[in-house]
Amino acid sequence: MNRGFLLLVLLAAAAFALSLSTFQVREGTTAIVARFGDPRHTVRDPGLYFKWPYPVDDVIEIDHRLNVLDPDPSEYLTADKKNVVVDTFLAWRVADPVKYWVSVNSRAGAELRLTDVLRSTVGQVLSSVPFTSLVSHQPQPQTLTDVVAAITERAAPRVRNDFGVEVVAIRIKRLNFPQQNKDAVFARMEQEREKISATIRQEGVEQFERIKAEADREEARLIAEAERKAKEIRGEAEAEATRIEVDAYAKDPALFEMIRRLSIVEEALNDESVLILPSDHELLDVLEGDAWRAGGDGGESP
């Protein structure tokens, strides 16, 4: 019983000593073995490794996977003194674990230092670049791609030398104006649009007046042409009527005279007309004239 218990104690002590003398490196991490706080070597390959028990050797685990830093947008000044708000992000990973651990110690410390470097570098580069290089669609000596490359070229060596961090990529997500600048830009855009709309309306009015004048000229021309043709037709009709009257008069003068007088009466009277005339009125000549009597049987009219 005592021997079995002693064996168990020995096995437990050996297991405990073994646990203090081994460490595991996981996938995506690097282990720094520090002896009395002094980094001695690093282990990158996953697996189980031996070390002196704590406190002789201590193991610091460093994540060397890709990380993305997305700081808040910041306001910068361009070479032509234009304020612009720039939203950037930075992709990074640990390149030198020992320098990283000694300089920044953790991911939070690394991102704090990287944010400072990123903002200062962006400010330096933008201060030498005109605003048109950032937003113009026309060919420029420098483009936004060139600006991003310049920021990366300045920031990458600095953070690698100072913090043991590799910059994988720096990108600009968004460019914007400060709020007070945006209000001024929108007001100017509104004024420009109002000018454009006023110009379009003026052109519309001018076009309307031109079309109306052309339509009025065409109307006057058509009316004049119609009146000319109407006069021609009326002249031809009157000439034809005169010819017919002459022919009718030539064939039977008395009948023609009677019909003419009756036509005069027909034009002067209607079904409700009542005429009271003296006996010597000229209208009675139409009814009792020579032409009317000529149309009778030769007797006298009453």
Looking at per-residue pLDDT, the higher value among 129 and 184 belongs to 129
Highest mean pLDDT among 11-20, 127-136, 208-217, 282-291: 208-217
Does residue 287 have a pLDDT over 90? no
Alpha helices in 136-178 (DSSP H): 144-163
| Tens-place pLDDT, residues 67-83 | 999 999 999 988 888 88
Spatial contact of 109 and 67, defined as CB atoms under 8 Å apart: no
**90: its two tokens:** 């930075």
The topology (CATH level 3) of 67-176 is Tetrahydropterin Synthase; Chain A (3.30.479)
Does residue 289 have a pLDDT over 70? no
- Interior/surface letters 120-158, b for 16+ CB within 10 angstroms, e for the rest: ebbeebbeebbbbbbeeeeeeebeeeebbebbbebbbee
Least confident span in 16-25, 75-84, 100-109, 133-142? 16-25
In DSSP terms, 31 is beta-bridged to 43, 61
Highest mean pLDDT among 153-167, 237-251, 265-279: 153-167
| Tens-place pLDDT, residues 104-125 | 988 999 999 999 999 999 999 9
The average confidence (pLDDT) of the chain is: 81
